[in-house]
Amino acid sequence: MSGLSRRGLLRGAVYGAGAAVSASALSGCGSIAGSVRSADEIEYWTLFTGPDGELMKTMTRNVEKRVPGLKVRTTVLDWGPPYYTKLAMASAGGRSPDVAIMHLTRLAGYAPGGLLDPWDLDLLAEFGLKQEDLNKTLVKRSLYQGEPYAVPLDTHPFVVFFDRDVMDKAGLLTGDGQLVPFESPKHALELMDKLRRSGGTLGPVFGHANDAAMGWRMFWTLFSQTGATFDLTGKRAEIDEDTAVEVVRFMADLTRDSRTMDVQTAIAAFANGRSPMIFSGEWDMATYKATLKDKLGGSPIPTFYDRPAGASDSHALVLPHQDNPDPERRRRAHRFVAELVRSGLTWATAGHIPAYTPAVSSPQYARLRPQSEYAGAAKQLVLDPPVWFAGSGSDFQTRMCQALDPALGGSSSARSAVRTMVSQINTLLAQPNPA
Amino acid sequence: MASVSTPARRAAAGSSRRAGFRRAAATDRTRSGGAGWLFATPFLVFFTLFLIVPIGIGLWMSFTNASLTGHGDGTLVGLDNYAEAFGDSQVWQTLGNTVWFTVLTTVPLVLVALVMALLVYTGMPGQWLWRLAFFASHLLPVAVVYQIWSMLFQPDRGMLNGLLKIFGIDGIAWLTDEKYAMWSIALVTLWWTVGFNFLLYLAALQAIPDHLYEAAALDGAGAWRRLWSVTLPQLRRTTGLIAVLQVMASLKVFDQIYLLTKGGPNGATRPILEYIYDTGFTNYRLGYASAVSYVFFGLIIILSIAQLKIFSRRED
């Protein structure tokens, strides 16, 4: 019994706990090292969840089947500011994943700071992916100082979806099922009134309330159609404010039935037939298709002003910076990306327009509807201004949407919205680029 | 007579008792040697690693142009970040929003909790039901609170506007109109968190000795007199505690705003913590974000000390 004194027991417990902690810490280290760096797996970060996530998983698996010895370990992170924070930190640390998805509009905040490594075009070509087979606008945007820092997988524009039957009845479709052209904003408003009268429903809907991107997407679409000045290259923004005011007014008039709609409500209004037309991201195509089936029509955003344009972004593949990249892993990363981008046709089933042009011009793609109907959006896409603070999931887009929302909701004027936007942009321009 | 003690005698007894404790503690310390330290070590290690060290690093960073992308690290910029912070209209605007939110929430969160506790304590039938009902919302995670209220606030199909319509009132853009957004957030916060303060008050009410009420009743005090002269003075300490905790909690508001409005419309509900988050983690300016955090940290400390002083003076 003497060996089992209270003090002895306590001491034994403390030593035991200490041993257990250090042992688990050691084994923990081992497993962490193993999970991050495995000789035969390449690490791939994506931001796709839901149906997009499932599809990406399938595509990755297919690539693994096609290429013997290529193993991909995918990490899915929630999209938005947290994703970009994690990616920036991993790249700054120099021990980042081998490949990652990134919105092309975020490149301006990443490439100049050395957070990304450039792609080897010869290596990509060796694996069957030539740069001339990719969407030209996207390729141009993927360059920084002449070097390719991103390989675009798709473009995901802001488009229009509609109910064919109702639109046809209102006389808003041409003989071959396309939207009738709008000659001017005024003409568009007249036609929308006709739509309201004939269908006895809401006009076009648009979910912007409390959203961090939709208001900006619509504004940027319409403003870009005017061709007016929107220059963020200097210390202060040079923006044609009168045109911007006109655009905001038109946005409010066009979607006067959905002044206070959030995205979910607008989606519901369109999917359950309360509205026959919605301004929306193509990523919601599957939701609409599920309820409207063959009645679902799609189109690039119509040209309301002088030139065709539609706000868009692109999921692109990047090489996050690594201090000491292993040449063999880099080679495999190139192989993986070449295969992935060439599987554009599979990716298109989710609604995205592949950046790989042979996929878009294939007969199989033409049979995908309504994807092929809005595929023209890829020819008129406009991306966010190439400044470090803009792009998908940025503070900039949130601020623009917040400035627009009261004007779209009818509680403040278009002029005051534009003033706020300009002053917010000037605040951001005055800040130093942290990269 | 023996039981009567003068203040002087009480003080003397108290000080001798304290001296006794000190002596006992000293001998205990010598006897137990390092065991106390050994037991405290795990906590001290974590406390140092995850609180003291980051606070120190944060303070250092606030004097540099550190960036999340690893660039600009270590370059001292002196007080530039602080100078920028004091001249930054966004800092003042978001600080104003934070203070406004604190004002809007603290007063009702103290008063409503008190009224609820009094109602339950002063003999409403079915006490368990009221306790559960008043506290239940506090158990919900913020994501659920957001889901419920974003539906209730929905301008076209939401219940709140539906109710207003019955009375012939036009719908309100609860979260998208600058005039109403902060009030709406305050309403959600009241609904969500009042249960905790209610519980504190209820516990305090149950701790008031019955003999005080008996004595008051014997003196002929009615219900109101007993409330004003017995209950509320007895709750003073709890009210002080709740007020201090509430002010600090409200100043640190982030989650429900980030989920419900993301700081909009037009920045009308953006709290300073969201500005710090956006500056540091979305725009990568860690050095500047640290400086703004330290300005805010300083403000919270000053407010807390002032509040504690006010309430401790009342106690005297």
Output the CA–CA distances (angstroms, integers) from residue B117 to B109, B133, B230, B237, in the order listed: 12, 12, 15, 15
R_g of chain B, CA atoms, integer Å: 26
Flag whether pLDDT at B67 surpasses 90: no
Output the CA–CA distances (angstroms, integers) from residue A196 to A169, A173, A255, A269, B98, in the order listed: 11, 15, 12, 14, 43
Q: Which of B82, B13, B93, B143 is nearest to B272 (CA)?
A: B93
In chain B, pLDDT over 90 holds for what percent of residues? 50
In this predicted model, what pLDDT tens digit does every residue of B265-304 receive, in sequence order?
A: 888 899 999 999 999 988 888 899 999 999 999 999 998 8
What integer pLDDT is reported at residue B313 of this predicted model?
A: 64
Flag whether pLDDT at A37 surpasses 70: no
Flag whether pLDDT at A373 surpasses 80: yes
CA distance A406 to B191: 26
DSSP letters for A380-420: SEEPPPS-TT-STT-HHHHHHHHHHHHHHHTSS-HHHHHHH
Which pTM does this prediction carry?
0.81
3-state secondary structure of A82: helix
What integer pLDDT is reported at residue A27 of this predicted model?
A: 36
A70: its two tokens: 């290529």
How far does A115 lie from chain B, in Å, by closest CA? 7
Q: What stretches of A49-198 adopt beta strand conformation (E)?
A: 71-76, 99-103, 116-117, 143-144, 147-148, 151-152, 154-155, 158-163
Residue tagged 């951001």 (tokens): A428
CA distance A298 to A371: 7
**Of the partner residues A394, A395, A405, the one whose CB lies closest to the CB of residue B265:** A405
List residues of B whose CB lies inside 8 A of any A CB. 38, 65, 67-72, 89-90, 150, 154-157, 171, 173, 175-179, 260-267, 278, 281-286, 288
Confidence band (pLDDT; 50, 70, 90) for B72?
A: low
- Secondary structure letter of residue A375 according to DSSP: G
Please judge whether B175 and A212 are an interchain contact, meaning their C-beta atoms are less than 8 angstroms apart.
no
Burial class of residue B287, CB neighbours in 10 A (0-12, 13-18, 19+): buried
Phi, psi (degrees; rounded to nearest 5) at B120: -70, -40
Contact yes or no for A132/A345 (Cβ under 8 A): no
DSSP letters for B257-314: HHHHTTT-STTTT--HHHHHHIIIIIS--HHHHHHHHHHHHHHHHHHHHHHHHHHHHH
Q: Higher pLDDT residue, A17 or B62?
A: B62
**Of the partner residues B156, B173, B284, the one whose CB lies closest to the CB of residue A411:** B173
Cis peptide before A406 (omega within 30 of 0): no
Task: Report, as an integer, the average pLDDT of A213-219.
Answer: 96
Confidence band (pLDDT; 50, 70, 90) for A100?
A: very high
* Least confident stretch, A23-37, A178-192, A401-415, B36-50: A23-37
Please judge whether B157 and A89 are an interchain contact, meaning their C-beta atoms are less than 8 angstroms apart.
no
Closest-approach residue (CA) in chain B for A418: B266
**Of the partner residues B173, B179, B283, the one whose CB lies closest to the CB of residue A395:** B283
Please judge whether B282 and A88 are an interchain contact, meaning their C-beta atoms are less than 8 angstroms apart.
no
B165: its two tokens: 């319509």
CA distance B153 to B105: 19
Residue A381: beta bridge partners? Answer: A310
Flag whether pLDDT at B105 surpasses 90: yes
In this predicted model, what pLDDT tens digit does every residue of B219-275 receive, in sequence order?
A: 888 888 888 988 999 999 899 889 989 999 999 999 999 999 888 788 889 999 999
Q: What's chain B's average pLDDT? A: 85
What integer pLDDT is reported at residue A238 of this predicted model?
A: 96
Q: Higher pLDDT residue, B3 or B159?
A: B159
Output the CA–CA distances (angstroms, integers) from residue A431 to B69, B74, B284, in the order listed: 15, 19, 11
Mutation target vs B (from A84, A102, A398; most B CBs, 10 A cutoff): A398
* Least confident stretch, A42-46, A123-127, A194-198, B28-32: B28-32
- Secondary structure letter of residue B228 according to DSSP: I
Judge if ipTM > 0.85.
no
Please judge whether A406 and B177 are an interchain contact, meaning their C-beta atoms are less than 8 angstroms apart.
yes
Please judge whether B173 and A432 are an interchain contact, meaning their C-beta atoms are less than 8 angstroms apart.
no
Cα B279 to chain centroid, rounded: 24
Which H/E stretch holds residue A226? helix A214-226
Confidence band (pLDDT; 50, 70, 90) for B308?
A: confident
3-state secondary structure of A143: strand
Q: What share of chain B is helix, strand, coil (3-state, %, to 5)?
A: 75, 0, 25
Flag whether pLDDT at A26 surpasses 60: no
Contact yes or no for A283/A127 (Cβ under 8 A): no
Residue A143: beta bridge partners? Answer: A148
What integer pLDDT is reported at residue B3 of this predicted model?
A: 41
What integer pLDDT is reported at residue B156 of this predicted model?
A: 76
**Of the partner residues B69, B157, B266, the one whose CB lies closest to the CB of residue A434:** B69
Fill in the amino acid letter for A200: G
Please judge whether B69 and A435 are an interchain contact, meaning their C-beta atoms are less than 8 angstroms apart.
yes
What integer pLDDT is reported at residue B74 of this predicted model?
A: 63
Chains A, B: CB contacts within 8 A come to 113
Phi, psi (degrees; rounded to nearest 5) at A163: -90, 110
CA distance A131 to A142: 11
What integer pLDDT is reported at residue A12 of this predicted model?
A: 47
Q: Which of A200, A247, A213 is nearest to A227 (CA)?
A: A247
How far does A236 lie from chain B, in Å, by closest CA? 16
CA distance B5 to B50: 49
Closest-approach residue (CA) in chain A for B73: A434
In this predicted model, what pLDDT tens digit does every residue of B22-62 receive, in sequence order?
A: 555 555 555 556 888 899 999 999 999 999 999 999 999 99
Q: What's chain A's average pLDDT? A: 88
What integer pLDDT is reported at residue B220 of this predicted model?
A: 86
Output the CA–CA distances (angstroms, integers) from residue B243 to B107, B231, B238, B308, in the order listed: 8, 17, 8, 10
Flag whether pLDDT at A10 surpasses 50: no
Which H/E stretch holds residue A277? strand A277-281
